[in-house]
Amino acid sequence: MEEKDWALLISYATNNRLVPVLGSEMTQINTGAQTEPLYRHLAKMLWADVNPAKPYTGQSLQEICMNEPDRSLARSNIYRKYNNIQARDFDYRLVRAIMNITGFNLFISASIDPGFEKQLAEVRGNATNKVSTYYSDLTTDDFMNLKIEREEDINLAYIFEAIRKSTSGNSIGEPSEFATDDEERMEYLYKLAKSISKDVYNNLLNYVRGKSLLILGCAFPDWYMRFMIRILTDKRFKGRETTVYVVSNDNVVNQLNEQYFYDNFKIKIIQPPLLVSEFVDEFSQRWNTNKANFNDNFPGAKVFISYYRKDSQGSHDIFTNLRQTGVDAWFDTEDLKAGEFEPNILKQVKDCSIFVPVLSDNILTNPACFSREKEWDWIFNLNNLKLKVPLIIPVILDNISKTDERIPELFKANSIFNWQDEKQPFLNKLTDALRNKS
């Protein structure tokens, strides 16, 4: 991982633009001398029952289950083996580290471990946050009764169900449906795709749309990983703007053609020698450092930085300086500059206290860019309708003149600052304005 990649991930999380997908490698089981992933632990125990005379040689849980003609029997065996694991032997350190990152409000579970629900309630539950868990169900019309009502609420969605007792139909103590292999997981994703027209599924899609996925510890084969990404993003690979990060202890990419596919469709693979545990530890440390270095001096106030992607480096410098001053600035990364994200970005424009258009020759010669067509026009429309307009403080990145005829009159009606020569006066003007608003 390069430094710019870490900075981008922290920026995504800071702006609530990243959704973690938690896989089976996130749950570890203490076996005495070491820990091992839950799925491998269950596979070992099932193998001892099915082939007591043969040593376990690394067979996956899927391999063992697919050799069992009666899937309900395999599911019952997994259910019993899971419940026989002592509570003290579950190691949720990695899960809790990710759940402690407050930039995450939705967690998608690609594991069948029901323990994520308890961990989330303990880590993020409090008097103000509502913590909800949603389970998929192949037996009903609605795939998942997920409805995110407030941005501050915390949600966990199991897309492959979880190891739980049946709520109907089966005898007491028997498990409900949950996926035991790729064939069954594919059925869950198929129903997820079929539910696309339903309001329930659209609530999940609307939350994920415009955000990046962080897929952690999902030991899926390449073909299945691609299929899952396609369903969860609800977007064709060609033309998709958001980046998907895949962090796995397995070598997801083994062939050149696979690497070509990932590189060309904005999928970043993070695999050995960097392990999932090392990635989570580094991410958690960087998040905590970033959080500790930011002291919100103007609670409730938001500053929106509107810039053209070619000016991302200079605009990020503005963002960094505002953060260091204790200003909560919203800075969308270049990956978010696409029409499908318009409602999410324009909501930030609508709710901001101060709107900072970053001016340059780049943006003034590109009237069709997203910032001008959408963000600037939103401000102009508010002004034309004589509605409340956030305070506008324009800032110039390059050597264009403050009187450049291409600069909109609404912007010229406000104090314009040159970032190179008037950095401190710009920061003073902005913080004074926020102070007067509070």
For the cut 50, the answer to whether the pLDDT of residue 1 exceeds it is: yes
C-alpha to C-alpha distance for 157 and 169, rounded to whole angstroms:
23
In the three-class reduction of DSSP (H, G, I as helix; E, B as strand; rest coil), residue 391 is classed as strand
Residue 139's pLDDT is 73
From the DSSP assignment, how many helices (H) and strands (E) are in the chain?
Answer: 18, 16
Q: Three-class SS of residue 373?
A: helix
User: Among 88, 116, 139, where does a domain finish?
Assistant: 88
Tokens matching residue 294: 């930011």
Residues 379 and 275 in one domain: no
Secondary structure of residue 332 in the 3-state scheme: coil
143, 200 Cβ separation under 8 angstroms: yes
Within 10 Å of residue 181's Cβ, how many Cβ atoms? Answer: 17
Question: Domain of 222?
Answer: 3-27+92-286
Given the structure tokens 């202890």, which residue do they identify? 249
Task: Please indicate, yes or no, whether residues 259 and 329 belong to a single structural domain of this protein.
Answer: no
CA-CA distance, 434 to 194, in Å (whole number)?
47
Predicted model pTM: 0.79
What average pLDDT does the segment 28-53 reach?
A: 90
Average pLDDT score, the chain: 85
Indicate whether 92 pLDDT > 80. yes
| Higher local confidence (pLDDT), 393 or 350 | 393
Q: How many domains does the chain have?
A: 3
> Looking at 43, 63, 88, which one is the last position of a domain?
88
Predicted confidence at residue 350, as pLDDT, reads 83
Given a cut of 60, whether residue 383 has pLDDT beyond it is: yes
Which of 235, 262, 286 is where one domain is finished? 286
pLDDT at 171 over 60: no
Digit-coded pLDDT (tens) for 117-154? 999 999 998 877 788 888 887 777 666 767 766 767 88
Q: Which helix (H) or strand (E) holds 19?
A: strand 18-22
Q: Is the pLDDT of residue 203 over 70?
A: no
Contacts from 384-391 at CB under 8 Å and sequence distance 24+? 389/355, 390/304, 390/349, 390/352, 390/353, 390/354, 390/355, 391/353, 391/354, 391/355, 391/433, 391/437
The pair of three-digit structure tokens given for residue 163, joined into one six-digit string: 């190891």
Rg, Å, the chain Cα set: 25
DSSP SS3 for 422: coil
User: Which CATH number fits the domain that encloses residue 203?
Assistant: 3.40.50
Pick the more confident residue, 197 or 13. 13
pLDDT band at residue 191 using 50, 70 and 90 as cut-offs: confident
Domain identity same for 83 and 117? no
Whole-number percent of the chain with pLDDT over 70: 89
**Sequence letter at residue 44:** K
65 and 137 part of one domain:
no
The answer to whether 268 and 262 have CB atoms below 8 angstroms apart is: yes
Q: What is the dihedral of CA 149, 153, 156, 159, to 10 degrees?
A: 20
Q: Name the percent of the chain lying above pLDDT 90.
A: 41
Residues 35 and 104 in one domain: no
Q: What is the mean pLDDT of residues 311-318?
A: 90
Do strands 154-158 and 131-135 pair parallel, antiparallel, or not at all (unpaired)?
A: parallel
Q: 195 and 301, same structural domain?
A: no
Q: What pLDDT is attached to residue 172?
A: 45
Kindly tell me the sign of the dihedral angle through the C-alpha atoms of 97, 347, 244, 357: negative
**Are 143 and 235 in a shared domain?**
yes
Other CB atoms within 10 Å distance of the CB of residue 258: 17
Across 319-355, b (16+ Cβ under 10 Å) vs e yields: bebbbebebbbbbbbbbbbbeebeebbeebbeebbbb
Residue 29 near residue 36, CB atoms below 8 Å: yes
> Are 305 and 368 within one domain?
yes
Are 149 and 60 within one domain? Answer: no
